[in-house]
Structure 1
Amino acid sequence: MPTPPLVIFDFDGTLFNTHASIKETIKLTFASLLPASPPPPDAEIEAQIASGAGLADTFRNLYPDAVSSSSPAEFESWVLRYREIYAEKGQALVTAYPGAKALLETVQRKSIPMSIISNKGVEAVKTALVNNGLEGFIPVEFIIGDKTPGAKRKPDVGSFEDVLLPRLREKGVDIDTEGRKRDVLVVGDTVADIGFARNLGCRVCWCRYGYGGKEECEALRPDWIVDGLGEVVNILEE
């Protein structure tokens, strides 16, 4: 492949193993807000993680009895409580996948701009990068997440078109022409990531080791399928 003008990484299930932290924090959130009720079954929590759903949608799906009677603002309060617990207890369970640092070093050595576009909150992403010694590779302004003004949930391309692209232009990074956009590489693990790349019209590497469902992701025919981040390094070196 041509050297990509930009590499866009997903966060959860791609650069970082956050499965245990998300699962545990969801359970603790339910215990905090519904202490008299049992937590959702593990299988249902894992299905939500695999779907790439946002937090508000995740809680709606896991607590269907409240959907008809609760306002959207109530689920936003659940999101806030989740983030409080995640910052306090969940971050300690977040670890970078093997090869993450080597991959970021390779992209940096090749002078390829990098971004993270995630459905996760930006502060949680930044904290995990610092905690795992991976800060400094990706400029903070190129980290787009939940609650970033103008951002949209993947597979919507609004986070790229309306937020990241103007920031790239400000830094003199040119990917405006259609040909260069086609050579952008998205690296992610769920159908939301693959759909995001397809909607952008660019290439996509599916991280099979992540949280996405095998059949759903394979059906979208990603350009590459990898079982570890070292294989992404090989793609870039080739």
Structure 2
Amino acid sequence: MPPPSLLIFDFDGTLFNTHASIKETIKLTFTTLLPTSPPPPDRDIEAQIASGVGLADTFRSLHPTASTSPLPPAEFENWVSKYRELYAQHGQGLVAAYPDAKLLLQTVQSKGIPMSIISNKGVEAVKTALANNGLEGLVPEEFIIGDKTPGAKRKPDVGSFEDVLLPRLKEKGIADADRGNILVVGDTVADIGFARNLGSRVCWCRFGYGDKTECEGLRPDWVVDGLGGVVRILQS
């Protein structure tokens, strides 16, 4: 196989271990905004993390009124804002890059392969985590696409690529990549679905948060148990 023309990385559960930070900040958000009710049980929070859905959908599903009288969508935007505020204060300290994350990004950079992060996470949270873990500057900031980036869509929708990343790549003189030669690296069904919708190849990170049975059933092109496995794919 030829080397990838572009690498698109997921963030949570792929480059970074953010499970504890997400879970604890979700609980803290419920404790702050709904102090009269206990926070959702861990198993329900973990199921939402494994699905790869966005924050608004996560809070909508976990809210105690979800099955009776759901709150209006605008209300959950307030929950998302509070979550981000609390995450910046309390969650970032629980975030750590996975082993070989720096080696992987340096390998991609040394090979001259363009790379991007497309995440359902906010861009500032991604940039802060990269900086805190010594990875700042390896992924061009303009190629980091997240929730609230104008024009971005939650995976598996490919709008974040078509409407946001692709125009930015062209602005930098990077030719339109052959979709079949793009490599998506992610850990959930949303990432695999994104790759399939894009018509690209996909490497599933089995060590991440995705449901193992569901992800395996989608038959990703590669499966790795650590980021060093992605390095070996690139070197082969």
TM-score category of the 2 structures, normalised to the smaller one: over 0.9
Matched residues, percent identical? 77
Answer whether contact 1:121 1:145 (CA < 8 A) is retained.
Answer: yes
The whole-number CA distance in structure 2 between the counterparts of 1:2 and 1:95 is 32
Counterpart of 1:215 in structure 2 is 213
Alignment check: 8 A CA contact 1:5 1:175 kept = no
Give 1:175 shift.
Answer: 2.6
- The structure-2 alpha-carbon separation of the partners of 1:162 and 1:234, relative to structure 1 and needing over 3 Å to count, comes to same
- Give the counterpart letter for 1:195 in structure 2: G
Match of residue 199, structure 2, among 198, 201, 220: 201
1:188 corresponds to 2:186: yes
CA distance in 1, matches of 2:116, 2:23: 26
Once the two structures are superposed, residues 17-71 of structure 1 have per-residue CA deviations (whole angstroms, 9 ceiling, x without a partner) of 0000000000000000111111100000000000001101001110141573421
Asked if 1 retains the 8 angstrom alpha-carbon contact of 2:7 and 2:115, the reply is yes
CA shift for structure 1 position 181: 1.6
- Work out which of the residue numbers 210, 226, 229 in structure 1 matches 2:227: 229
Q: Structure 1 pair 69/188, CA: closer, same or farther in 2 (3 Å)?
A: closer
Match of 2:87 in 1: 86
3-state SS in 1 of match to 2:65: helix
SS at match of 2:8: strand
Partner SS state of residue 65, structure 1: coil
- Letter of the 1:21 counterpart: S
2:108 match: 107
Find the counterpart in structure 2 of residue 38 from structure 1.
38
Residue deviations 1:73-97 (CA, integer Å, cap 9, x gap): 1111000000000000000000000
User: Which TM-score applies when normalising by structure 1?
Assistant: 0.97
Q: 1:5 is matched with which residue?
A: 5
What is residue 173 of structure 1 aligned with on the other side?
174
1:204 partner SS: strand
SS in 2 for 1:111: coil
CA distance in 2, matches of 1:74, 1:24: 21
| CA–CA distance in structure 2, aligned partners of residues 109 and 175 of structure 1 | 21
Counterpart Cα distance in 2 of 1:197 and 1:236: 18
Alignment match, 2:22: 22
Structure 2 gaps of 5+ residues are none
Q: How many residues align?
A: 235
Contact 1:153–1:159 under 8 Å retained in 2 = yes
* Conserved 8 A contact 2:65-2:71: no
SS for the counterpart of 1:104 is: helix
Task: Name the amino acid aligned to 2:53.
Answer: A
SS of equivalent residue, structure 1 residue 231: helix
Aligned ranges 1:62-141 → 2 under 5 Å: 62-65=62-65, 68-141=69-142
Question: For the residues of structure 1 that align with 2:66 and 2:213, how far apart are their CA atoms?
Answer: 31
Counterpart of 1:17, as a letter, is N
Structure 1 runs not aligned, ≥5 long: none
- Determine whether 1:163 maps to 2:164: yes
- Matching residue's letter, 1:197: A
Question: In terms of mean alpha carbon deviation, does 83-92 or 66-75 score higher?
Answer: 66-75
The AA in structure 1 aligned to 2:225 is: D
Classify the secondary structure of the residue corresponding to 1:44.
helix
Quote the Cα distance in structure 2 between the aligned partners of 1:164 and 1:64: 37
Tell me, in whole angstroms, the C-alpha distance in 2 between the residues paired with 1:185 and 1:175: 14
Measured in 1, the distance between the counterparts of 2:182 and 2:70 equals 44
Say what the alpha-carbon RMSD is for the aligned residues. 0.9
